[in-house]
Amino acid sequence: MMKKITGKNDVDAYIAAAPKQVQTMLKQLRRIIKAAAPQAEERMSYKMPFYYYHGRVAYFAAWKDHVAMYGIPTTLTKFQKHIQPYLTSKSTLKFPLGKRLPTSLINRLIRTQIKTNERKKK
């Protein structure tokens, strides 16, 4: 269970408030997203980290036994075969604690979402 975030409501505080065993995965997921979308603005929305570039790029959150990534349903449909082990709903991917994050898959999802947002912007 997350501790209450006090003071500055930002991504660093969100990660620091997460249970220790989750923090490493959150930091890694953050690095992957920022590397794949360096132009995206990092924000907090719905009390979780959120990335914005010409629209939604992704959200992520910490849970008791997993880390989840949300908010990219259009992009997820293009990767159905690859996301099946992680997909739990139309736009939610769950990554179990203690398992390696699928770095290349997350990278491809984020880059695809960026391209989708750029096309919509034009």
Q: How confident is the model at residue 4 (pLDDT cuts 50, 70, 90)?
A: very low
Please say if the pLDDT value at position 23 is more than 50: yes
Residue 2 has pLDDT above 70, yes or no: no
| Domains of the chain and any CATH numbers | 11-114 (3.90.1150.200)
pTM of the model: 0.87
CB atoms within 10 A of CB 21: 12
Residues 6+ apart with CB under 8 A from 4: 17
Query: How far apart are alpha carbons 24 and 63 in whole angstroms?
Result: 13
What pLDDT, on the 0 to 100 scale, is given for residue 102? 96
Q: Read off the pLDDT of each residue in 22-29 and give the average, rounded to a whole number.
A: 95
pLDDT category, 84, cuts 50, 70, 90? Answer: confident
